[in-house]
């Protein structure tokens, strides 16, 4: 019989019993505690730090030495994924390792020209009975193809007395009566629009008879404890027994928790939700539907990704709504360009415009789309999680305690900053990292190669990852340590920015586009909503677009889900966009290595940054005249 040991987790005061020899990260997951684990438990990120207060443990490997300083090791810090529990233990999960509630972006600024949801309710009548003939079904006010009806529903109808309400779904062809209700229930019909994000899930409860949003709810995706990146989750699915099922259960449970909150607040029943539209990246779409993601691990997967939408019944997915409701997932295009990007395009309206537009959704994976009503071309870049604060020494998601904006005094070189929640700083999120880099470049603490400059200020010093610049001194932080930007952080950010700009440049050159051709620049997601776009351009993440109107569209994935929930026509548009969009695979494109190399300095190729080059020339002239 296995020996059980008890673990106490502070400060949440959670107690759990596990078998002796259990990996500590697995125990934390079992306790339902959200802890950072970007790599999913491979010992490759150093984010799952814990402090051993008492008890006996052993090391799985020596990987922890790469991520923990000698001082941290002497103080009792461990990596949860690299530690086995051997006895009763008491541990503290430090503030920098906890996943708090992130800053959630909810935007649904879309206008639906004509309300035409895929799920509608009609009063139903049956033709008079004549011997053994099949009785005809009539739906009052319905004009369309004859709907199909299952034998079970038909048999139920024969036992019901009018009035009877039929729930008609036009998700598939022909339409289908998916359920019947006693009485006139035509005014009680509801749907869900969901953004199935890698980190967070956002859901809207919609009245399908009016289009009105009745409630909004969001939560961390329960999958996050299995890895914060898509690659780590694919790896978990491949390596762990029943890994796919565990990941599916985690995301479905998150959605069901949101449904419970929404229906309780609105005073309706779960079964009154008769339609769902969901936007998510390719991996999240697969995991929600329980579709094997193994093939997405390989670089040749793009041609294997189906471009048709995933459509399943709620009961099959495990969603706690009307079991016969259809769940429509916006279609994918490639391995890393999914339904969330299609939702962005639907939300922007660029597919219906004569003008050439650029749409960018920049996160751990960046989606880049150029086009208009006649053509659409796309690519995705592995921009890395630096834009979301991950992969940086003191990086964190945009949540309480994260430095989100930075301004550096050019005389004292001291950084002023704002913190989400007006708390003491725990770390720095993506928008803060971009601000810090742009400001460091502006005041001369960072050169055009992205290298920290030594000797200008005592705030630049040598650290374990090379030179580092102090953003927030220990006395002003919540973690009792200096929050710094290191040279390693800058190298990572420069790699991300070169990938983003290089991807944009590949499409521009392939399709003979200049910065003056773009008339609309749509920015989707949290990056577009919270990042200082001037600093992003100064750093060279994006080119300058002198003739373009800048249009942040917020959570385009959620907006796309909202639109396709309320309009069959929008679903048709989404399906056509995915089917017809040209995708350029940068992993096999020789031009990308060239554009990446051109973009690895600040800001980037001269033709993309005319105002920077004019200012640079003016400075040179001023210096020359001063010398003369």
For 493-526, what is each residue's pLDDT tens digit? 999 999 999 999 999 999 999 999 999 999 998 7
Say if residues 15 and 27 touch (Cβ distance below 8 Å): no
What residue spans define the domains of the chain? 4-97, 119-182, 386-489
**Ranked by mean pLDDT, which of 144-148, 250-254, 622-626 comes out on top?**
250-254
pLDDT above 80 (res 129): no
Q: How far apart are CA 37 and CA 29, in angstroms?
A: 11
**Ranked by mean pLDDT, which of 132-141, 421-430, 526-535, 541-550 comes out on top?**
541-550
Place 622 in a pLDDT band, splitting at 50, 70 and 90: very low
- Distance set, CA 127 to CA 121, 148, 228, 489 (Å): 19, 16, 57, 73
- Distance set, CA 158 to CA 88, 131, 132, 149, 162 (Å): 63, 14, 12, 13, 10
Axis crossing angle, helix 430-442 with helix 487-510, rounded to the nearest 10: 90
List strand residue ranges (DSSP E) for 20-106, in order. 49-54, 57-59, 77-79, 83-85, 89-92
In this structure, the strands spanning 415-419 and 213-220 are unpaired
pLDDT, position 104: 52
| Percentage of the residues of the chain whose pLDDT score is greater than 70 | 94
pLDDT, position 381: 92
Q: What is the CATH number of domain 4-97?
A: 3.10.20.30
pLDDT, position 97: 84
Q: How far apart are CA 577 and CA 367, in angstroms?
A: 15
Q: How far apart are CA 559 and CA 331, in angstroms?
A: 15
Per-state percent for the chain, helix, strand, coil, to nearest 5: 35, 25, 35
Say if residues 114 and 129 touch (Cβ distance below 8 Å): no
Segment 60-107, tens digit of pLDDT: 999 999 999 888 899 899 999 999 999 999 998 987 788 765 555 555
Angle formed at CA 380 by CA 34 and CA 286, multiple of 5 degrees = 50
Helix (H, G, I), strand (E, B) or coil at 396: coil
Q: How far apart are CA 607 and CA 610, in angstroms?
A: 6
Q: Where are the alpha helices (DSSP H) in 45-195?
A: 64-67, 70-75, 151-158
pLDDT above 80 (res 465): yes
Q: How far apart are CA 121 and CA 564, in angstroms?
A: 18
Angle formed at CA 599 by CA 624 and CA 228, multiple of 5 degrees = 135
Angle formed at CA 41 by CA 255 and CA 333, multiple of 5 degrees = 50
Place 390 in a pLDDT band, splitting at 50, 70 and 90: confident
Q: Comparing 27-36, 231-240, 253-262, 304-313, which segment has the lowest mean pLDDT? A: 27-36
């Amino acid at each position: 019989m296995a020996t059980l040991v008890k673990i106490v987790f502070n400060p949440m005061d959670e107690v759990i019993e596990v078998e002796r020899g259990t990996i500590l990260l697995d125990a934390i997951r079992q306790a339902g505690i959200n802890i950072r684990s970007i790599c999913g438990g491979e010992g490759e990120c150093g984010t799952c730090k814990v402090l051993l207060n008492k008890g006996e443990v052993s090391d799985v490997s020596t990987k922890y030495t790469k991520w923990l300083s000698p001082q941290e090791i002497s103080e009792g810090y461990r990596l949860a994924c690299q530690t086995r529990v051997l006895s009763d233990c008491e541990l503290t999960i430090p503030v920098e390792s906890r996943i708090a509630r992130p800053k959630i972006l909810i935007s649904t600024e879309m206008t639906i020209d004509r309300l035409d949801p895929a799920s509608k309710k009609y009063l139903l009548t049956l033709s008079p009975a004549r011997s053994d003939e099949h009785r005809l079904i009539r739906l009052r006010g319905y004009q369309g193809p004859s709907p199909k009806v299952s034998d079970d529903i038909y048999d139920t109808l024969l036992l019901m007395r009018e009035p009877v309400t039929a729930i008609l779904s036009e998700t598939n062809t022909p339409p289908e009566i998916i359920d019947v209700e006693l009485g006139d229930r035509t005014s009680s019909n509801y749907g869900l629009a969901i953004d199935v994000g890698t980190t967070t899930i956002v859901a809207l409860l919609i009245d399908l008879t009016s289009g009105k949003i009745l409630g909004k709810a969001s939560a961390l995706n329960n999958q996050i404890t299995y890895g914060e990146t898509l690659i780590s989750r694919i790896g978990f699915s491949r390596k762990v027994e029943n890994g796919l099922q565990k990941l599916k259960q985690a995301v479905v449970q998150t959605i069901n928790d949101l449904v419970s909150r929404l229906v309780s607040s609105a005073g309706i029943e779960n079964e009154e939700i008769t339609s769902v539209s969901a936007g998510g990246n390719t991996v999240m779409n697969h995991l929600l539907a329980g579709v094997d993601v193994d093939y997405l691990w390989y670089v040749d997967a793009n041609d294997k990704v189906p471009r048709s939408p995933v459509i399943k019944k709620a009961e099959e997915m495990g969603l706690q709504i009307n079991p016969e409701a259809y769940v429509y997932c916006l279609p994918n295009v490639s391995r890393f360009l999914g339904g969330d990007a299609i939702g962005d395009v639907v939300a922007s309206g660029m597919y219906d415009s004569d003008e050439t537009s650029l749409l960018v959704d920049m996160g751990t994976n960046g989606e880049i789309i150029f086009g208009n009503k006649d053509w659409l071309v796309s690519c995705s870049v592995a921009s890395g999680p630096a834009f979301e604060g991950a992969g940086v020494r003191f990086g964190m998601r945009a949540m309480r305690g994260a430095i989100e904006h930075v301004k550096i005094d050019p005389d004292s070189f001291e950084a002023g900053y704002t913190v989400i929640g007006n708390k003491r700083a725990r770390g720095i999120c993506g928008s803060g990292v971009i601000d810090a880099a742009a400001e460091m470049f502006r005041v001369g603490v960072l050169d055009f190669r992205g290298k920290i400059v030594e000797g200008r200020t005592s705030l630049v010093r040598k650290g374990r990852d090379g030179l580092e610049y102090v953003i927030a001194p220990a006395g002003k932080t919540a973690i009792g340590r200096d929050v710094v930007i290191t040279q390693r952080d800058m190298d990572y950010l420069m790699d991300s920015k070169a990938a983003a700009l290089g991807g944009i440049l590949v499409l521009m050159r392939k399709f003979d586009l200049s910065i003056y051709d773009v008339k609309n620049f749509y920015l989707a997601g949290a990056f577009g909503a919270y990042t200082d776009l001037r600093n992003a351009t100064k750093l060279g993440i994006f080119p300058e677009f002198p003739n373009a109107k800048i249009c942040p569209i917020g959570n385009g994935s959620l907006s796309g889900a909202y639109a396709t929930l309320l309009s069959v026509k929008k679903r048709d548009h989404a399906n056509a966009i995915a089917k017809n969009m040209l995708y350029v695979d940068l992993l096999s494109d020789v031009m990308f290595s060239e554009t990446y190399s051109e973009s690895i300095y600040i800001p980037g190729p001269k033709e993309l940054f005319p105002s920077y080059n004019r200012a640079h020339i003016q400075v040179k002239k001023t210096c020359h005249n001063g010398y003369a």
